[in-house]
Amino acid sequence: MKVNVLVAEIGSTTTVVNAFNGIGTSCPTFVGQGQAPTSVLQGDVTVGLKGAINDLKKNLNADEITWDDMLATSSAAGGLKMTVHGLVYDMTVRAAKEAALGAGGIIKMITSGRMRKTDLKKIQEISPNIILVAGGVDYGERETALYNLEMILSMGLKTPIIYAGNIENQEEVRLMCEEAGNQVYIVENVYPKIDTLVVEPTRKIIQDAFEEHIIHAPGMSKVRELVKGPIIPTPGAVMEAAKVLKEELGDLVIFDVGGATTDVHSVTEGSIEINSILISPEPVAKRTVEGDLGVYVNANHVVEKIGMDNLKKEFPDAEAILADYKPIPQTAREMQFVERLTKEAVLTSLERHAGHLRYFYTASGKKTVAEGKDLTAIKYIIGTGGALTRLPGKKDILELIKHHGKEQELYPTELAQILIDEDYILSSLGVLSKSYHDDALALMKKSLFIGD
């Protein structure tokens, strides 16, 4: 059997292949899907890719599958390991931590104040993909961040470093890293003054590093030989789909819950009312990658967020379920358990992605300002990813978003409509849209059950 386009989505947990026909005609169609466990641990992701193609053949009752064009997305290298080092835990360290978590980093270590030799030993054991150094408000304390950086560089690790501390240290930090041969990213201070967090510049740099990192799984070079053009990171592909849908439907937010991460993509200008009191501008298209919120590879992080004692109130058998935890739930009980983790992942990712109102008092009375991403004008809340396309309670989980806030959060309202990517193909269609825009849009609307 021959298909026009085959799109492979090589995830952290599962590899999915989607087949499409009628590309370039008035009626493009989604032919079928195959999936298999991702084979990163076997040292070659092509093992999982071949397994997914074999599953597709079985689903289509085909002896063989050939294709005109193959495209691919990948998040197969899992999370980005990070260590974070700041001055005061409740200030610069918290700001740096929020930046790292929101961007997709899995934080393996946090230090505050001057580092010790035992800290260096732990960093060597972790072997992080990136190190984030912060500390000191702008034009405030300088020495701690410089001391910590000197300690880190003394280990001889060639790990890329992000510096997001006191602006007065930037030139010295650049010089120190150049002399040591370390790549360094100098970004705006995450805590430039008291009670002010500026995490977006750091998040963007971390996301760039994340997107470079995830396509370097074992065997990915073999996949490159099969694919025309670059292998696109899965979160970037979903964002492409979100932008295409925004043009057609209006303001929207997409929740993509996977085995290793939960990604949130919003495309909205926000409301006129909130924009008038917004402290700093937000991008129309914003993505946050929550590297600690996955329902399989990082399930332990989600369980820790809920709290095992709290989880046991709902699932007395939680420890038994976790002891034999599978990538794809097999029983009704396992599905209920994954739904509980998915609910936590969705609501936590919403809290990190969306902005909020802040109130303060002046001589002339109470004032209201808005900080962060405004989701109040969202028309559609869309679910994609393995959990939010396959679990029975997927729509109920997304419905919770509309009732989660306490009025000061800039969350979607009750007017927002819930849509599910029923065919689980938004990521593939984001890639497809780069070459076949109209076909991709038509297929998106079919999967979301939106009529013309």
Expressed in angstroms, the distance from the first to the final Cα of the chain is: 30
Q: How far apart are CA 73 and CA 71, in angstroms?
A: 7
pLDDT at position 392 is 94
Q: Measured between alpha carbons, how far is 393 from 386 in angstroms, rounded to an integer?
A: 13
Residue-wise pLDDT tens digits, 172-228 = 999 999 999 998 999 999 889 886 778 778 878 886 766 566 566 666 777 777 787
Least Cα distance to 266 among 249, 248, 243 occurs for 243
Q: Would you say residue 79 has pLDDT above 60? A: no
In this structure, CATH architecture of domain 80-212 = 3-Layer(aba) Sandwich (3.40)
Type of residue numbered 332: A
For residues 123 and 83, the answer to whether their CB atoms sit within 8 Å is yes
Please report, rounded to a whole number, the percentage of residues in the chain having pLDDT higher than 70.
91
> What digits encode the pLDDT tens for the residues 326-362?
888 889 999 999 999 999 999 999 999 999 999 988 8
What's the pLDDT tens digit per position in 421-447? Answer: 999 999 999 989 988 999 999 999 999
- pLDDT value of position 168: 96
| pLDDT given at position 80 | 67
Where residue 229 falls among pLDDT bands split at 50, 70, 90?
Answer: low
Q: Comparing 80 with 84, which gets the higher pLDDT?
A: 84
Measured distance CA(77)–CA(65) in Å, rounded? 27
Tens digits of residue pLDDT in 242-261:
989 999 999 999 999 988 88
Higher pLDDT, 347 or 281: 347
Short-list 371, 369, 372, 397, CA closest to 382: 397
Domain boundaries, the chain: 2-77+214-226, 80-212, 233-421
Residue 96 pLDDT exceeds 70: yes
Strands 380-384 and 105-112: unpaired
For residue 85, is pLDDT > 80?
Answer: yes
Averaged pLDDT, 374-393: 95
Whether the CB-CB separation of 102 and 200 falls below 8 Å is answered with: no
- Which range among 9-23, 135-149, 211-225 shows the weakest confidence by mean pLDDT? 211-225
318: confidence class by pLDDT, cuts 50, 70, 90: very high
Do 2-77+214-226 and 80-212 agree at the fold level? Answer: no
Measured between alpha carbons, how far is residue 379 from residues 2, 299, 375, 415 in Å? Answer: 38, 30, 9, 7
pLDDT of 224 reads: 74
Q: Which CATH superfamily is domain 2-77+214-226 in?
A: ATPase, nucleotide binding domain (3.30.420.40)
Give yes or no for residue 417 having a pLDDT over 70. Answer: yes
Query: Angle at which helices 143-153 and 117-126 pack, to 10 degrees?
Result: 50
What pTM value is reported for the model? Answer: 0.73
Secondary structure of the chain in the HEC alphabet?
CEEEEEEEEECCCEEEEEEEECCCCCCCEEEEEEEEECCHHHCCHHHHHHHHHHHHHHHCCCCCCEEEEEEEEECCCCCEEEEEEECCHHHHHHHHHHHHHHHCEEEEEEEECCCCHHHHHHHHHHCCCEEEECCCCCCCCCHHHHHHHHHHHCCCCCCCEEECCCHHHHHHHHHHHHHHCCCEEECCCCCCECCECCCHHHHHHHHHHHHHHCCCCCCHHHHHHHCCCCCEEHHHHHHHHHHHHHHHHCCEEEEEECCCCEEEEEECCCCHHHHCCECCCCCCEEEEEECCCCCCCCHHHHHHHHCHHHHHHHCCCHHHHHHCCCCCCCCHHHHHHHHHHHHHHHHHHHHHHECEEEEEEECCEEEEEEECECCCCCCEEEEEHHHHHHCCCHHHHHHHHHHCCCCCECCCCCCCEEEECCCCCHHHHHHHHHHCHHHHHHHHHHHCCCCC
